[in-house]
């Protein structure tokens, strides 16, 4: 389904994504325990914090009967001694059959792929992309709505540094009839490269700083946290000016369609009020749980163990 590695949204087509979603549906209904051999090992190498991505990949492998080796905090590994990600991956690829890598520097996943002996999954490289999250988000939309085609999607919050929204915007462009609302303050606006890609794909989009005016029109509200850790140097004080940009409450939901979806890649840090959790349109926890069958599909596909 995929090439040797999953580094970017550019690594899959709409047909490949839909085949993966069908496989994930199958795995959810028919748990694939025993699909992997006991000596097939997934390695997770994380230079940045993670809960859902790392644990869902590890749970996916274990639930298929495989093994897991993990570096949950590479700062406690030889990285602290100055080892490069390329060297770490070269060594780790001799221990396992697939490696999931997260790193704060853009391009690090591609660097890892150049030295690895086994397939690489990019679990986030800096503020660029997070392709497995985009596949998870699309899978969740299809599962909840029945289809992705024709959806009006609001991407809201940190659109400058948020790699999940970069990948999701690019992936949505694979489906026809999509309209994307890009809702963010000016200093957190969507990068030019993403906008140019949407234009090239013929995707209709609109940039705005006002969420309220589009709430009645959207089918999906995809919220993201403002990523404090990305504000560095001279920009660090700017975080205080935008940290409270987004706040979704019960009042927000009153203006939305009765069948709209509220999504979030998590963690949230205050942008969604707890009262929203009880609304059936709030699906971010189901979204996170979908990570296991979806990532089972990725692992099985990349290891050629789909049946």
The residues carrying an active-site annotation are 52-53, 81, 102, 130
Contact 125, 111 (CB under 8 A): no
Tokens of 74: 């590479």
Distance of CA 261 to the CA centre of its chain: 17
CA–CA separation, 64 and 173 (whole Å): 32
> What sign does the dihedral 194-200-203-206 (CA atoms) show?
positive
What phi, psi does 239 have (nearest 5°)?
Answer: -55, -40
């Amino acid at each position: 389904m995929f090439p040797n590695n999953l580094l970017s949204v550019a690594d899959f087509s709409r047909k490949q994504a839909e085949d993966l979603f069908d496989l994930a549906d199958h795995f959810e209904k028919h748990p694939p325990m025993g699909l992997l051999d006991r000596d097939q090992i997934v390695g997770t190498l994380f230079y940045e914090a993670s809960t859902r991505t790392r644990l869902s990949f590890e749970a996916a492998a274990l639930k298929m009967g495989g093994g897991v080796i993990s570096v949950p905090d590479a700062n406690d590994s030889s990285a602290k001694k100055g080892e490069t990600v390329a060297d770490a991956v070269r060594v780790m690829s001799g221990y396992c059959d697939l490696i999931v890598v997260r790193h704060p520097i853009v391009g690090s996943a591609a660097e890892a792929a150049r030295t690895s002996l086994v397939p690489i999954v990019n679990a986030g490289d800096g503020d660029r992309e997070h392709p497995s999250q985009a596949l998870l988000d699309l899978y969740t939309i299809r599962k909840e709505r029945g289809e992705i085609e024709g959806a009006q999607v609001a991407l809201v919050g940190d659109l400058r540094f948020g790699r999940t929204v970069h990948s999701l915007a690019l992936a949505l462009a694979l489906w026809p009839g999509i309209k994307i609302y890009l809702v963010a303050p000016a200093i957190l606006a969507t990068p030019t490269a993403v906008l140019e890609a949407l234009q090239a794909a013929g995707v209709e989009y609109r940039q705005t700083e006002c969420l309220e005016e589009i709430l009645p029109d959207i089918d999906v509200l995809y919220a993201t946290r403002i990523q404090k850790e990305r504000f560095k140097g001279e920009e660090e004080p700017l975080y205080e000016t935008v940290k409270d940009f987004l706040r979704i409450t019960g009042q927000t939901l009153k203006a939305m369609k009765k069948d709209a979806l509220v999504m979030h890649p998590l963690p949230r840090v205050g942008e969604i009020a707890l009262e929203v959790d009880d609304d059936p349109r709030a699906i971010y926890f189901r979204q996170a749980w979908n990570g296991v069958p979806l990532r089972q599909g990725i692992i099985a596909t990349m290891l050629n163990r789909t049946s």
